[in-house]
Amino acid sequence: MTVPPRPDVLVATSGGVVGTPEDLAALAERARAFAEGARAEATLRAYRSDLADYQRWCDKHGLVALPAEPYTLAAYLTDRADRLAVSTLGRRLSAIAVAHRDAGFALDLRHQVVRDTWQGIRRARGTAPRHAEALTTPVLKRLLDTCDAGRLIDLRDKALLAVGFAGAFRRSELCALNLADVVSAPEGLAIRLARSKTDQAGEGEVVPVGRTGSPYCPAAAFAAWAAAAGLRDGRAFRAVSRHGGIGPGLSTRAVAQIVQDRAERAGLDGASFSGHSLRSGFCTAAAREGIEERTIMRQSRHRSVRTFRRYVQAGSLWERNLAAEVGL
């Protein structure tokens, strides 16, 4: 007697979807992958580092990391409060909360001991973020003047600084830029961002970088770099060895290092600047020129008016000398 094959077992979900356990397991795995992709890779790297530090601290003190008791979390925050910026400590707290949620554990961040400890740290340390000095146009030109047209690394640095400033780009955006994303036109460069900090869905947007015709023209600087490096595809900004060899794409840390190194060569304090100085410098310079807010925000792709206005405030701080105007 031939036994017919056993039919697949069907499972009905609350949403009315019917499938086999294998189907549902595959869907669950895809859902997990999508959930992980909801956060930027830079955020995931930071969270992994944060959690590793938290785990080491718990192991050292013989405490359970997951699930954490409120007093454990309060003690960790207190111990790290003297060595970490408030913003970094806040990210650590977020990373620990996400880890609990992903593991199926409840973590009450509103528990009195956690809440009071965190508020006390914020009050004692202050919550105003520390900003690197802005590379305004005159300062940027001093950095660009340190770039020798005869060396490949100088051509790379000049293009990176000029394009980064004119497009108000983030470090991550510059590092992710591919040569195919840069289209040259008589008016300048049309640079397509496939994804950015404020465009996690990857819809993409085009940033115009105008041609100026001056010795500091960003479009001309990029063309000179790309031609000298013989770029055909891949990352637009690459590492350059001491002997002029072209390497892989730059890291965000490398961008910051380039800014600081050029500042030092220009006779400035390199430690006062960062990779973000290019973006903040453009916003500050544009504000000082009286360019309207919405126009600057369109170029800088700021979504938060509050964040953007920190740059505007810096740019217009000395627009008028009120002490002199009142006759002091």
Burial of 320 (0-12, 13-18, 19+ CB in 10 A): exposed
Residue 243 is a catalytic residue: no
From 170, 235, 262, 301, active-site residue: 170
The single residue of 142, 197, 211, 298 carrying the catalytic annotation is 197
Helical packing angle, 112-125 and 70-80, nearest 10°: 10
- Set 47, 54, 76, 311: catalytic member: 311
Which residue among the candidates 92, 171, 235, 279 is catalytic per the annotation?
A: 279
318 to 117, 134, 270, 282, 324: CA distances (angstroms): 39, 15, 24, 17, 12
Strands 246-249 and 18-19: unpaired
Cα–Cα distance between 208 and 79 in angstroms, integer?
Answer: 47
Active site residue 302: yes
Is 211 a residue of the active site? no
Query: Which residue among 92, 262, 276, 301 is the active-site one?
Result: 276
Do 282 and 209 touch, CB atoms closer than 8 A? no
Q: Is 248 helix (H, G, I), strand (E, B) or coil?
A: strand
Q: Is 61 a catalytic residue?
A: no
100: CB partners within 8 A, 6+ apart: 66, 67, 68, 106, 107
Q: What is the DSSP string of 260-285?
A: HHHHHHTTS-GGG--TTHHHHHHHHH
Cα–Cα dist 228/155, whole Å: 8
The reply to whether 276 belongs to the active site is yes
Distance CA 50, CA 56 (A): 10
Let me know if 111 is a catalytic residue. no
Which residues are catalytic, by number? 170, 197, 276, 279, 302, 311
